Amino acid sequence: MFLFCWIPLTLLIGNSFADTIQPLSSERHIFKGDNVTLSCNYSGFVYNLQWYRQYMGSRLEFLILVNENSKASEHSLRLSAKDSKEKKQVILTISSAEVTDSAVYYCALSNSHVHNKNFSLLL
């Protein structure tokens, strides 16, 4: 099976337009069983970083929160996320991609304590 990744937009949560987050690529082509790494670069002060997923025709689903207290967060046995502070990147890893991973994935940042809610994968 063939997997397609697309990052249509990023989310910025907070009150400063100097803090930004952008995906490193807008789409990826991946095969079933591949390990997938989705990354976003960010700038400015970041309190926490989040990953969301949205299946076609469905609502946004929260996946993982990454903050200064977490080394690497695991959502499931196949999903994990980490913050590479030296590169200013947040990285989502999907192990052994499956057809059910086909979705749009969103990276987001928050520069406050408020918890808030970008890649697309198609097999």
Q: Which domain holds residue 45?
A: 2-107
Has residue 120 been placed in a domain? no
pLDDT of residue 77: 78
pLDDT of residue 84: 81
Has residue 114 been placed in a domain? no
Has residue 121 been placed in a domain? no
pLDDT of residue 53: 92
pLDDT of residue 70: 62
Domain count, the chain: 1
pLDDT of residue 16: 46
**Residue 24 belongs to domain with CATH number:** 2.60.40.10
3-state secondary structure the chain: CEEEEECCCCEEECCCCCCEEEECCCEEEEECCCCEEEEEEEECCCCEEEEEEECCCCCCEEEEEEECCCCEEECCCCEEEEEECCCCEEEEEECCCCHHHCCEEEEEEECCCCCCCCCECEC
- Would you give per-residue pLDDT tens digits along the chain (123 residues)? 444 444 444 444 444 455 788 878 777 888 999 999 999 988 877 778 889 999 999 999 999 888 776 655 556 678 888 888 888 888 999 999 998 898 999 998 877 654 444 555 544
Has residue 32 been placed in a domain? yes
pLDDT of residue 71: 55
pLDDT of residue 10: 42
User: Is the separation of the CB atoms in 68 and 85 below 8 Å?
Assistant: no
Has residue 122 been placed in a domain? no
pLDDT of residue 11: 44
pLDDT of residue 18: 59
